[in-house]
Amino acid sequence: MSRGNQIYLLGCFFLCSLFSCKHSEEEYHSLTDKIKGESKNYKGTTISSEAYLEGIKTVEITEGDHTFLIPERKSQITYFACTECHSKPLKELKGKEYKKAHWDIKLMHAQQEIMNCTTCHNGNDMDHLKSLTGEAIDFNRSYKLCSQCHSPQFEDWKGGAHGKNIGGWSLPRAAMTCVNCHNPHKPQIESRWPSRFNTQKVKERE
């Protein structure tokens, strides 16, 4: 083989190796890199979750960097506004001549010395909730009340790590607010039995 031919062959080999040694299938070395790389120029998707919010009344809230929808509350409360009944001061309503109301509410939220009814409710302004400093809080934004003590949960909720999505994963983002899952008077979620038991699995593992 002549020297010229050899050089030619070597050249070909070099050229081939230039193409063949590239990372053929994956551009990224890890999933994290892929997520970072591909979301750099994220322009949004065509998929929307709007259809699944139909029939749910929502209000938009902005907290820090997060803006999303939460269910509207006031229209869900059976007798709102509260002042429709609470037309007189509480002391007068407590008399025997009135039918009992809210008799089933037992406050099981923190200890008695930390919390009582007036921590959140204002006897002089029943249509609003009350912050620790006495500011009025709208019933639609009751999360503000909860976030006064439960700040880590509040941070997680804003980001989406605590609580539950409504509708779907895509935009618009809608999330349950605190009282959609937790009863504010008894926020602990109760223990119960699992909703199913697999009898076949028992047989298989005998």
- Closer by beta carbon to another protein, 13 or else 28: 28
Task: Identify which of 115, 132, 122, 82 has the alpha carbon closest to the alpha carbon of residue 186.
Answer: 115
Binding site for another protein (CB under 8 A): 30-31, 34-35, 38-39, 42-52, 152, 156, 159-165, 167-170, 173, 176, 181, 189, 191-202, 205
Pairing of strands 58-63, 136-137: unpaired
Shortest Cβ 58–another protein spacing (Å): 16
Whole-number Å distance between alpha carbons of 46 and 193:
41
Asked if residues 78 and 184 have their Cβ atoms less than 8 Å apart, the reply is no
DSSP 136: E
- Cis amide leading into 172 (omega within 30): yes
Shortest Cβ 182–another protein spacing (Å): 11
Shortest Cβ 50–another protein spacing (Å): 8
- Closer by beta carbon to another protein, 49 or else 119: 49
Shortest Cβ 83–another protein spacing (Å): 34
Give the bridge partners for 138, in sequence order.
none
- Maximum CA pair distance of the chain? 118
- Closer by beta carbon to another protein, 19 or else 42: 42
- Closer by beta carbon to another protein, 71 or else 167: 167
- Closer by beta carbon to another protein, 24 or else 46: 46
Shortest Cβ 165–another protein spacing (Å): 6
Tell me phi and psi for residue 159, to 5 degrees: -75, -30
